[in-house]
């Protein structure tokens, strides 16, 4: 019995050995070219919002560089930044750029600068649940007043004025928000603060803030907020655009700085990112959007170091991120992320070159 | 003294006594021969016991140390304020951390759960042990105890997508429209996920544990006393009321406290159904947040100072659980004593 059971195992082992040998030879052969030559293990952790596209890019990159193995753990931006600064990962990922005190801590920890590389954009859509209301237009100040709690009924004249020709019902507004800390909340509150002093001086900006509206409910993650919106008549809340599109949730048009009412789409998100001025360190918020741009949007970043990698890791990391930025746009659109506009892609690629530039 | 007598009488049915004595005799006979083995065994058991205390002490001390900057920054307002506005600093405490809303959320939802689950569990246990035909009692026990094996996230999901919006919301609407105008804590406007919804689903989750213990205690009612009650002409209801229930009372209270312990610490299902708002609502039909809930949902994106505050909430939850457990022991001890005294008369 025993030997007969061993034979298939031995054959299998032999096959695996040949297969390994085979790939080994192709690797050596490929080392003269530009692809298939690298060997490195990269570990990254951070934001959950871009995790699906990062996983997709990592999977696709496997066929380009089989020797590079990348492990991305979606543990949240907060943990991602902590582990990045704590040197537990090779690269980090965050929905919010590092604040000045985080940069100082990072510099102290590694002795060189952290690098911000924006990868994709996401938009935050305003979803609502009002019976018989097929289309809704809101402006930034009105949206802020709803979330501050000064507008509490759908028939408020301020809402009616933006929706002429539509009869707004006499119904209490239920404000739905994220109950967990979230980059989506950060983008949303950054926008509200930029359009409303009452919001700026009240709850302010953050991944988690106080929600002053009297009739407010919270949900965990996008699906929790969506459940809150769908189960509470009169509800309005904010969710990631990709989530709203996948689940066919009705969303409001937002009036941007040029006075245009813009529906949230991948195109209008890309348009928002195209028209803004971006600082040299690529730490930016998307604010004061005009033209055809949808006004509530934000970027997500990969974080890397300008020193301290061994050469193989640095080469692999640079090659992977470069590949993502140059070849990953279609995959990003498929997963309902908005890729970087060309002008910004150039700047992002220049940042990739800085990885390990200080040795 | 009296309480231990009472509980021993509860545990040992008279007919088991003879065999128990025999077993004890044979054990002591063995012990005389192998004293060193016995001592070693006792030492190992002692170490096992000590390790539990050590783990507990380490947990409490290390979490308290970690949360200390927040405790120092907030002082008493950590438990008296309901302003929870996390900061983002890495090194100092810049936000405001008042956990009162979460304390209220945990206590109120647990209370709702007990108010629903305890009477139901006692009724079911009475039915199973005293009234149900054997063919029904077995499967029923088994089914209810199976509820305990359902992961809490499944309860949460079921509540989120089906039970609360489809079943509970119409009931809440009815209660609010009939009683809401004169009972303030049942007034509207209703939001679908709220204290009440979390409390009801929590009741289903603590029901099996309360039921199992209560059933066990009731099943141990001495048959001689039951026979005596019938002999005195008691009806089945009178027998339950005067024999089974008084005997089971300390057990029911103990079971309730076990259930309360589970309810206080339950995290995901409550976080999914309690409404996720950081306010203290004026009505059971409004949203809030629980202590375990706020830790679970905000931990992932929390800045270092915020993490310290969440650890502080954990310490607080631990302290409240200890207080509840001590209160439970006290109540069981007091009622147990009362029962024993009653028997002596």
pLDDT at residue B6, as a whole number: 44
What's the mean pLDDT in A136-146? 96
3-class secondary-structure state, position A158: helix
Instruction: Spell out the domains of chain B, with CATH numbers in brackets.
Output: 100-344 (1.10.3720.10)
- CB-nearest to A210 from B89, B278, B306 is B278
What's the complex ipTM? 0.74
The whole-model pTM stands at: 0.80
What's the mean pLDDT in B47-51? 94
Contact A101 B90 (CB under 8 A): yes
Cα A220–A225–A228 angle (5° rounding)? 115
**Cα dihedral A328, A332, A333, A334 sign:** positive
Contact A182 B89 (CB under 8 A): no
Q: Rounded distance, CA A126 to CA A124, Å?
A: 7
A238 against B12, higher pLDDT:
A238
- CB-nearest to B303 from A48, A78, A220 is A78
Q: Return all residues near B232 (Cβ < 8 A) that are at least 6 apart.
A: none
Q: Return all residues near A141 (Cβ < 8 A) that are at least 6 apart.
A: A195, A196
For chain B, what percent of residues have pLDDT higher than 90? 59
Q: Could you write out the three-class secondary structure of chain B?
A: CHHHHHHHHHHCCHHHHHHHHHHHHHHHHHHHHCHHHHHHHHHHHHHHHHHHHHHHHHHHHHHHHHHHHHHHHHCCHHHHCCCEECCCCCCCCCCEECCHHHHHHHHHHHHHHHHHHHHHHHHHHHHHHHHCCHHHHHHHHHHHHHHCCCCHHHHHHHHHHHHHHHHHHHHHHHHHHHHCCCCHHHCCCCCCCCHHHHHHHHHHHHHHHHHHHHHHHHHCCCHHHHHHHHHCCCCHHHHHHHHHHHHHHHHHHHHHHHHHHHHHHCCHHHHHHCECCCCCCCCCCCCECCHHHHHHHHCCCCCHHHHHHHHHHHHHHHHHHHHHHHHHHHHHHHHHHHHHHHHHC
Task: Report whether pLDDT(A30) > 50.
Answer: no
pLDDT at residue A25, as a whole number: 36
As a whole number of Å, the end-to-end CA separation of chain A is 59
What's the mean pLDDT in B128-133? 90
What's the mean pLDDT in A25-34? 38
**Nearest chain A residue to B195, by CA:** A217
User: Is A231 within 8 Å of chain B by CB?
Assistant: yes
For chain A, what percent of residues have pLDDT higher than 70? 90
What's the mean pLDDT in A344-358? 93
- Mean pLDDT, chain B, as a whole number? 86
**Nearest chain B residue to A78, by CA:** B301
Q: How far is CA A112 from the centre of its chain?
A: 26
pLDDT band at residue A18 using 50, 70 and 90 as cut-offs: very low
E strand or H helix at A223, and its extent? Answer: helix A221-231
B189 against A2, higher pLDDT:
B189
Residue A325: closest CA among A163, A83, A121? A121
Contact A224 B161 (CB under 8 A): no
Q: What is the pLDDT of residues B306-334, one digit of tens each?
A: 999 999 999 999 999 888 888 878 877 87
Kind of pairing, strands A137-139 and A216-219?
Answer: unpaired
For chain B, what percent of residues have pLDDT higher than 70? 87
Specify whether the CB–CB gap between A192 and A143 falls below 8 A.
yes
- CB-nearest to B300 from A79, A218, A219 is A79
3-class secondary-structure state, position A160: helix
pLDDT band at residue A110 using 50, 70 and 90 as cut-offs: very high
pLDDT band at residue A5 using 50, 70 and 90 as cut-offs: low
Q: What is the pLDDT of residues B261-289, one digit of tens each?
A: 999 999 999 999 999 888 899 899 999 99
Q: Measured between beta carbons, which residues in chain B are less than 8 angstroms from residue A174?
A: 189, 191
Contact B304 A215 (CB under 8 A): no
Contact A179 B277 (CB under 8 A): yes
Q: How far is CA A42 from the centre of its chain?
A: 20
Q: What is the pLDDT of residues B63-118, one digit of tens each?
A: 999 999 999 999 999 999 999 988 888 888 998 999 999 999 999 999 999 999 99
- CB-nearest to B276 from A215, A217, A232 is A217
User: Is A309 within 8 Å of chain B by CB?
Assistant: no
């Amino acid at each position: 019995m025993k030997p007969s059971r061993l034979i298939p195992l031995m054959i299998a082992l032999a096959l695996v050995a040949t297969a390994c040998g085979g790939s080994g030879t192709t690797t050596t052969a490929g080392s003269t070219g530009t692809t298939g030559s690298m060997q490195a293990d990269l570990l990254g952790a951070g934001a959950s919002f871009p995790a699906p596209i990062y996983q997709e890019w990592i999977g696709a990159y496997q066929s380009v560089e089989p020797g590079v193995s990348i492990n991305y753990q979606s543990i949240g931006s907060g943990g991602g930044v902590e582990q990045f600064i704590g040197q537990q990962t090779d690269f980090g990922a965050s929905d919010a750029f590092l604040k000045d005190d985080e940069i100082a801590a990072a510099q102290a920890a590694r002795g060189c600068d952290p690098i911000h590389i924006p990868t994709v954009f996401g938009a935050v859509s305003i979803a609502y649940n009002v019976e018989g209301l097929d289309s809704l237009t809101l402006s930034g100040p009105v949206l802020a007043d709803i979330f501050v709690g000064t507008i509490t009924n759908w028939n408020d004249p301020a809402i009616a004025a933006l929706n002429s020709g539509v009869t707004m019902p006499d119904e209490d507004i239920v404000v739905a928000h994220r109950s967990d800390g979230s980059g989506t909340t950060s983008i949303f509150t950054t926008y509200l603060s930029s359009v409303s002093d009452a919001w700026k001086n009240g709850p302010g900006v953050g991944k988690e803030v106080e929600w002053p509206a009297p009739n407010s409910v919270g949900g965990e993650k996008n699906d929790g907020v969506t459940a809150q919106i769908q189960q509470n008549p009169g509800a309005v809340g904010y969710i990631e655009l990709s989530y709203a599109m996948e689940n066919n949730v009705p969303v409001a048009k937002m009036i941007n700085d040029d006075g245009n009412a813009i529906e949230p789409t991948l195109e209008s998100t890309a348009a928002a990112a195209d028209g803004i001025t971006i600082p040299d360190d690529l730490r930016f918020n998307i604010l004061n959007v005009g033209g055809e741009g949808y006004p509530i949007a934000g970027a997500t970043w990969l974080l890397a170091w300008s020193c301290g990698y061994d050469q193989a890791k640095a080469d692999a990391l640079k090659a992977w991120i470069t590949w993502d930025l140059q070849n990953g746009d279609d995959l990003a659109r498929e997963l309902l992320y908005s890729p970087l506009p060309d002008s910004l892609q150039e700047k992002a690629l220049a940042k990739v070159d800085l990885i390990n530039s200080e040795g | 003294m009296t309480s231990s007598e009472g509980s021993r009488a509860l545990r040992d049915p008279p007919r088991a006594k003879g065999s128990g004595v025999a077993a004890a005799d044979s054990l002591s006979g063995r012990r005389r021969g192998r004293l060193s083995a016995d001592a070693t065994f006792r030492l190992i058991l002692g170490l096992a016991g000590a390790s539990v205390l050590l783990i507990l002490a380490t947990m409490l001390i290390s979490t308290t140390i970690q949360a200390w900057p927040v405790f120092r920054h907030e002082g008493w307002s950590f438990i008296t304020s309901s302003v929870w506005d996390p900061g983002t600093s890495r090194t100092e405490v810049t936000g405001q951390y008042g956990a009162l809303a979460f304390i209220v959320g945990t206590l109120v939802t647990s209370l709702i759960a007990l108010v629903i689950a305890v009477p139901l569990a006692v009724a079911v246990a009475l039915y199973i042990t005293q009234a149900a035909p054997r063919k029904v009692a077995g499967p029923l026990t088994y089914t209810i105890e199976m509820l305990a094996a359902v992961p809490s996230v499944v309860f949460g999901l079921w509540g989120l997508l089906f039970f609360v919006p489809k079943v509970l919301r119409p009931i809440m609407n009815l209660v609010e429209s009939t009683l809401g105008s004169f009972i303030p804590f049942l007034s509207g406007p209703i939001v679908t996920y709220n204290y009440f919804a979390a409390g009801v689903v929590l009741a289903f989750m603590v029901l099996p544990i309360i039921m199992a213990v209560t059933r066990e205690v009731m099943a141990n009612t001495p048959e001689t006393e039951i026979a005596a009650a019938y002999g005195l002409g008691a009806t089945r209801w009178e027998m339950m009321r005067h024999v089974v229930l008084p005997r089971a009372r300390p057990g029911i209270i103990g079971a309730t406290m076990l259930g309360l312990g589970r309810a206080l610490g339950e995290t995901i299902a409550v976080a999914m159904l309690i409404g996720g708002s950081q306010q203290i609502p004026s009505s059971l039909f409004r949203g809030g947040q629980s202590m375990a809930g706020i830790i679970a949902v905000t931990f992932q994106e929390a800045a270092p100072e915020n993490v310290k505050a969440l650890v502080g909430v954990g310490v607080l939850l631990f302290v409240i659980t200890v207080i509840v457990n001590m209160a439970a022991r006290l109540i069981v001890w007091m009622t147990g004593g009362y029962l024993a005294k009653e028997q002596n008369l």
